[in-house]
Amino acid sequence: MNKLEAHLSSMIETLDEMTNILNRSQQSKEDVSMTMLYKNIEDGIFDSIHNANQGQLNYMMNSYRFRFYTEFNSDKEMLKREITRRLRDNKLKNIGL
């Protein structure tokens, strides 16, 4: 039963994410595929952000325009919270929690 619950929970999260992307693309009048592309690029950056040194981090934050987490959101603190969450999750994973 736990496998089924986990699978259904995963499907619900995926549907929520897809709905979120659709809503943001409609609000910004951007193509859905481009909105999804921006999100995937930015998620890829965030997934490897813990490997960056200070210089690389500064360069990345100052040179790349995070469209999905800034332009497509009314909440302007979302980018900061997402980076903090990804770094925290990586540290917890490294210590085994």
Q: Does position 97 have pLDDT exceeding 80, yes or no?
A: no
In tens, the pLDDT along 15-27 reads: 988 888 888 888 8
Number of neighbouring beta carbons within 10 Å of residue 68: 25
Nearest 5°: CA angle at 46, between 70 and 91? Answer: 130
Rounded to the nearest 10 degrees, how much is the dihedral formed by the CA atoms of 29, 45, 76, 71? -20
Contact 18, 36 (CB under 8 A): no
- Domain extent for 18: 2-94
For the chain, what is the domain count?
1
In tens, the pLDDT along 35-73 reads: 888 888 888 888 888 888 888 888 888 888 888 888 777
Q: Does position 12 have pLDDT exceeding 80, yes or no?
A: yes
Which class for 24: exposed (0-12), middle (13-18), buried (19 or more C-beta within 10 A)? Answer: buried
